[in-house]
Amino acid sequence: MFSFLARVILIVIAITVIRSIFSWVQRFLTSAQHSPPAAQTRTPPQAPQSTALEQDPVCGTYVSVDTSLKRIVKGKVYHFCSEACKDRFTA
């Protein structure tokens, strides 16, 4: 009787251990599958940024077209270095 109980307990422990190992392996595999694409997500939107510069008509600073504050006046796009310059500008 005792040996039967011990066997049952051993089986239950074994199943628990195997299940935890499986879930650990599964988690490891899924994380391994998920991380490389994330690492591979190439950064073309950032890398080939245009380096075009436009002059801020208020303070004269050259600002990158990508980061400048834009304001369209009479169909012409003006680029500003800051919100202050944008506000000061009157065309």
Positions touching Zn ion (CB under 5 A) are 56, 58-59, 61, 81, 85
Tell me the three state secondary structure of residue 40: helix
CB-nearer residue toward Zn ion: 78 or 85: 85
Dist. CA 70–CA 7, nearest whole Å: 76
| Residue number of the CB atom closest to Zn ion | 85
CB of 57 vs Zn ion, minimal distance in Å: 8
81 Cβ neighbours under 8 A, 6+ residues apart:
56, 59, 61, 63, 68, 69
Using the minimum distance from each CB to Zn ion, give the nearer residue, 24 or 62: 62
Nearer to Zn ion, 34 or 70 (CB): 70
